[in-house]
């Protein structure tokens, strides 16, 4: 079996399991970029998504100026193609991280690239919360934060998990483009060590591993969304 694998996937075997260009290293780099970018970009996206809902004309704290700022910032960052964003914020990345290349440096553009998408997803998810529940909470004197955490986030939890799953899957795709700044990962393995070197077996295995990550996120997200569905 091992001999068959070696003969069928010679370039995969050549890359090895460990080392700077090994498969395990690439898997860890992809998970590292996805996890931390999801944390930073997710927090930023949640703040802006909540801001869009709360300060909207129909929100619990309508504010035309604040809503305009939230909306335009999200729209502006969504309009910038990710590969251009990588180059555009390179000076800011170097100022923040100390370098423009590498896995950690990729966290900055990845976070800024995913947050506007997530903010819009959160906006849509929270807009589906029953307005009657919000009004009921206001009528009994619930505080601003009680409504945010006890109504919006609690009632919209299942939908938030669902859109978070979609965002994570998109983020895994963005990590492939992050290879343009030397970030590594499975995307970089598929392109730099597979496609560019005509090593079809390397591209195939890297793609399969990405699909496994995506499937894992999808199945987990669907399970959690169903579990926390209040409907």
pLDDT over threshold 80, residue 162: yes
Q: DSSP secondary structure string, 144-176?
A: HHHHIIIIIIHHTHHHHHHHHHHHHHHHHHHHH
DSSP 231: -
Query: Lowest mean pLDDT: which of 37-51, 94-108, 201-215?
Result: 94-108
How high is the mean pLDDT of the chain?
87
Spatial neighbors of 117 by CB under 8 A, at least 6 apart, are: 45, 78, 167, 170
Cβ count within 10 A of residue 45: 26
DSSP 61: S
DSSP helix/strand/coil, 76: helix
Domains identified in the chain and CATH numbers: 17-227 (1.10.3720.10)
pLDDT over threshold 90, residue 38: yes
The predicted model gives 123-149 an average pLDDT of 85
User: Taking the C-alpha atoms of 72, 77, 78 and 80 in order, what is their torsion angle to the nearest 10 degrees?
Assistant: 130
Q: pLDDT by residue (tens digit) across 169-189?
A: 999 988 887 775 677 888 888
Q: Is 4 exposed, middle or buried (0-12, 13-18, 19+ CB in 10 A)?
A: exposed
Give pLDDT, residue 120: 94
The pTM of the full predicted model, rounded to 2 decimals, is 0.89
Q: pLDDT by residue (tens digit) across 191-214?
A: 888 777 888 888 899 999 999 999
Instruction: Locate 216 and state its tokens.
Output: 């894992």
């Amino acid at each position: 079996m091992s001999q068959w694998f070696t003969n069928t996937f010679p370039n995969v075997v050549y890359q090895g399991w460990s080392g700077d260009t090994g498969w395990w290293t690439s898997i860890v780099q992809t998970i590292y970029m996805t996890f931390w970018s999801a944390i930073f970009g997710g927090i930023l996206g949640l703040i802006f998504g909540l801001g869009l809902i709360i300060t909207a004309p129909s929100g619990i704290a309508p504010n035309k100026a604040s809503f305009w700022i939230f909306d335009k910032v999200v729209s502006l960052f969504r309009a910038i193609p990710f590969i251009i964003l990588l180059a555009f914020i390179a000076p800011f990345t170097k100022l923040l991280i100390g370098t423009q290349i590498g896995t950690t440096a990729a966290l900055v553009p990845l976070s800024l690239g995913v947050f506007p998408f997530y903010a819009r997803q959160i906006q849509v998810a929270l807009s589906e919360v029953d307005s009657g529940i919000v009004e009921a909470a206001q009528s009994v004197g619930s505080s601003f934060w009680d409504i945010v955490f006890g109504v919006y986030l609690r009632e919209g939890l299942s939908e938030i998990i669902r859109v978070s799953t979609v965002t994570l899957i998109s983020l895994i795709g963005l990590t492939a483009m992050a290879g343009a700044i030397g970030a590594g990962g499975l995307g970089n393995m598929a392109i730099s060590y597979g496609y560019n070197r005509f090593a079809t077996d390397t591209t195939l295995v890297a793609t399969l591993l990405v699909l496994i990550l995506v499937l894992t996120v999808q199945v987990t997200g669907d399970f959690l969304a169903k579990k926390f569905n209040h409907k």
